[in-house]
């Protein structure tokens, strides 16, 4: 995201591309360190609101374009039509990549766990009301003014800063909770965990900017990276899902499978690129079809690897051990948080579930309805 946004800002404003690459995450690092996950929620809401309003105007303008002549033009093979082969491959590659992104990116998980599921009812109701109001003559549905370029620049900036903040929070939890607290210092104090998290945000922000600058000098553009990401993140999709939903999956399968899937996907991607072009360069590896083959291989080979390795030596994981995890308190928490049922527990015999039976019943019902809803529309 930083790579593409820096290119857009540089082209639109004339700013040095390296300067824009390093300045983009700067403000994000500041408010992420200062506000943590709470700041991410607030800024994401504001950014998304601005993006949605701007895109609504731009979309209406595009739909009203006189170049769109009707259903007959859908079959002329352009990138805007249903019959465009490149558009179909583009959609498939990014469908795999984006689906894997939602599963693999811990920022989605953290927001989902931190949010109140009941609050989604308000958003759904408000959205349905907005759809109803669109039919009213009082609803402004036509864009005015000629600031489309600046509006698009604003959209890019809001999207990138929002995404970067979520990534900073997601990455910071790995060294602080998964490594430092779990393996290096299990008796660490809460404020020490938060300090490690803050330092990780700063270091990763600098690293991301430096890495994006290196890609710029290596002539790796956002188009190349966008396709390549599907190949490298899809191998973890099935192993992660099996880790959560299948207690028989072994540690070896969860650890080795993503690496085997990644190796298989890269081999197919590079092999098919060489077969089509006869060489391996940045240009020859950029066509869509090799990326699609690599993404498909990464995704489904990892599922096969995980199942085979698991059945060689299956595990029998006890899910209740997660109830031993304790909550990390920050200074802004009230004193009642120390009485949480997930704090101060030493063994499974003394564990009480953090959710009441009524809440568990409601969550199970919501999960069932969500599964039926998803299966209906995906089917």
Supply the pLDDT for residue 301: 92
How is residue 93 annotated by DSSP? H
Angle (CA) 288 292 293, round 5° = 120
CA distance 111 to 54: 24
Supply the pLDDT for residue 340: 45
Tokens 């990390």, located at residue: 328
Tokens 């989604």, located at residue: 120
Q: Whole-angstrom distance between the N-terminal and C-terminal Cα of the chain? A: 32
Task: Quickly state the pLDDT bin for 47 (edges 50, 70, 90).
Answer: confident
Q: What percent of the chain has pLDDT over 90?
A: 7
Q: Token digits for 91?
A: 């959609």
- Classified as helix, coil or strand, 69 is coil
| pLDDT at position 267 over 90 | yes
Q: For 98-149, write each residue's pLDDT tens digit.
A: 888 778 776 666 666 666 655 565 566 666 666 666 666 555 544 444 566 6
Q: For 48-106, write each residue's pLDDT tens digit.
A: 888 888 878 777 766 676 666 655 555 555 555 556 777 788 888 888 888 887 787 76
Supply the pLDDT for residue 330: 54
Task: Quickly state the pLDDT bin for 339 (edges 50, 70, 90).
Answer: very low
Nearest CA among 202, 170, 195, 174 for reference residue 25: 202
Contact 169, 37 (CB under 8 A): yes
- Classified as helix, coil or strand, 67 is coil
Mean pLDDT score across all residues of the chain: 75
Say which residues have a Cβ less than 8 Å from residue 217's Cβ, sequence separation at least 6: none
If one compares 11 and 47, the residue with the highest pLDDT of the two is 47
| pLDDT at position 31 over 70 | yes
Supply the pLDDT for residue 225: 81
Task: Quickly state the pLDDT bin for 329 (edges 50, 70, 90).
Answer: low
Supply the pLDDT for residue 229: 84
Contact 258, 238 (CB under 8 A): no
Distances (CA, A) of 269 to 82, 179, 265, 303, 336: 26, 33, 6, 18, 54
Q: Token digits for 96?
A: 């795999």
How is residue 325 annotated by DSSP? P
DSSP string, 194-216: HHHHHHHHHHHHHHHHHHHHHHH
Task: Quickly state the pLDDT bin for 341 (edges 50, 70, 90).
Answer: very low
Q: For 269-303, write each residue's pLDDT tens digit.
A: 999 989 888 888 888 888 888 888 988 999 999 99
Nearest CA among 198, 162, 167, 168 for reference residue 180: 198
Q: What is the dihedral of CA 73, 77, 80, 81, to 10 degrees?
A: 60
Supply the pLDDT for residue 356: 77
Supply the pLDDT for residue 308: 92
Supply the pLDDT for residue 342: 45
Nearest CA among 18, 1, 20 for reference residue 9: 20
Contact 216, 9 (CB under 8 A): no
């Amino acid at each position: 995201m930083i790579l593409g946004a820096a290119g857009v800002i540089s082209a639109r404003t004339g700013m040095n591309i390296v300067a824009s690459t390093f300045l983009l995450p700067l403000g994000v690092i500041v408010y992420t360190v200062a506000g943590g996950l709470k700041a991410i929620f607030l800024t994401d809401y504001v950014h998304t609101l601005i993006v949605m309003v701007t895109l609504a105007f731009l979309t209406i303008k595009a739909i009203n374009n006189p170049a769109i002549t009707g259903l007959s033009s859908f079959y002329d093979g352009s990138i805007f039509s249903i019959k465009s082969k490149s558009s179909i491959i583009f959609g498939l590659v990014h469908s795999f990549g984006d689906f894997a992104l939602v599963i693999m990116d811990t920022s989605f998980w953290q927001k989902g766990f931190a949010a109140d599921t009941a609050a989604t009812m308000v958003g759904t109701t408000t959205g349905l009301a907005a759809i109803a109001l669109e039919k009213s003559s009082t609803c402004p549905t036509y864009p005015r003014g000629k600031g489309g370029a600046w509006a698009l620049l604003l959209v890019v900036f809001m999207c990138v800063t929002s995404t970067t903040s979520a990534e900073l929070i997601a990455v910071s939890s790995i060294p602080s909770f998964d490594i430092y607290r779990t393996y290096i210092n299990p008796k660490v104090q809460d404020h020490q965990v938060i300090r490690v998290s803050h330092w990780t945000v700063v270091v990763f922000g600098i690293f991301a900017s430096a890495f994006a600058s290196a890609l710029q000098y290596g002539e790796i553009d956002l188009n190349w990276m966008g396709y390549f990401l599907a190949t490298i993140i899809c191998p973890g999709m099935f192993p992660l899902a099996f880790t959560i939903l299948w207690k028989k999956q072994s540690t070896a399968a969860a650890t080795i499978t993503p690496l085997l899937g990644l190796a298989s996907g890269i081999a197919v991607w590079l092999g098919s690129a060489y077969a089509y072009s006869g060489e391996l360069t940045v240009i020859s590896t950029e066509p869509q079809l090799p990326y699609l083959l690599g993404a498909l291989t990464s995704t489904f080979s990892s599922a096969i690897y995980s199942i085979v390795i698991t059945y060689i030596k299956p595990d029998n994981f006890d899910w209740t051990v997660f109830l031993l995890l304790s909550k990390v308190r920050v200074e802004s928490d009230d004193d009642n948080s120390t009485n949480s049922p997930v704090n101060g527990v030493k063994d499974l015999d003394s564990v009480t579930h953090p959710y009441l039976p009524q809440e568990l019943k409601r969550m199970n019902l919501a999960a069932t309805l969500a599964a039926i809803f998803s299966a209906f529309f995906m089917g």
